Structure 1
Amino acid sequence: MSISPEMRASDRDRDRVAEALREHLAEGRLTVDEFNERLERVYQSRTYGELAKITADLPEIDLHRPPAPAPSKEVARKRRPAEVALKASWAAWATASSINWVIWLIVSITTGTWIYPWPLWVMGPWGAALLVGTIFGRQFGHGRNG
């Protein structure tokens, strides 16, 4: 069945056009003001013809499929969870290590004596395990596009 301009559009159709407008905004084809104005018109539209007029001056948009993400975005999405987990692991290590060193420093200062640097036992093995995971995880394709 062919789609005529007088045919009523669904909420899903309006959402697809809105997504396409977001892509055009991201690509620099629209200013924020133009985007907001057009977005308002999208959600007021009732027919395919009205939706088509909103995007008539932009490159072709398939109203039934949102624009495909660029390959670089797909690679970034695939890589992102592993990188986020790795960064979170290192951040937790750094935070715990810092807290232990502050405690060690406070105890050393308040007792007036030099205390064995026990935080090394906290940060050493944990840091070594993280370092091995970081190096070998990358070598075997974890945490990067592989």
Structure 2
Amino acid sequence: MPDPHLRAADADRAAVAAQLGEHMAAGRLRVDEYDDRLARAYAARTYGELAELTADLPRPVARQTGPAASTPAPWAHHGIAHAGSWGGWSGGPSRYAAWRNWLATAVIVLTVWIATSIGSGELLYPWPIWVIGPWGAVLLAQTIASNRRDDDEHRRLT
């Protein structure tokens, strides 16, 4: 793990948040404990602050196979598993889950906008664009970057 006084990145905070969610789902954290730790994770500035949030929890188990499986997860001995950018955005099921969440949110906000427009009798300002537009742009950029990383990794391994 990097020195505890060094600044943590958004990806580090998101990775700890994902790890806390897994521990809550496993029953190691109560909902109120999870909420408190999650708020502290996103407010954390340093690796030391992040490490405190998972110090009393078991380390994550590496789920990789092949040559990379023998390499321990970075910072695993301090309870922080760096799972790629944006808390596990490295492809696979999480990539599709992010798009499903975006789509579900888009449907909800568009439904609310349409219902309020119909209820008012006039076409209201299209505010859902500010919810789904930037989020969709970020997801698209991450998908493209992830696909490029996957291609680079495939070329490197072959």
**Fold equivalence (TM over 0.5):** no
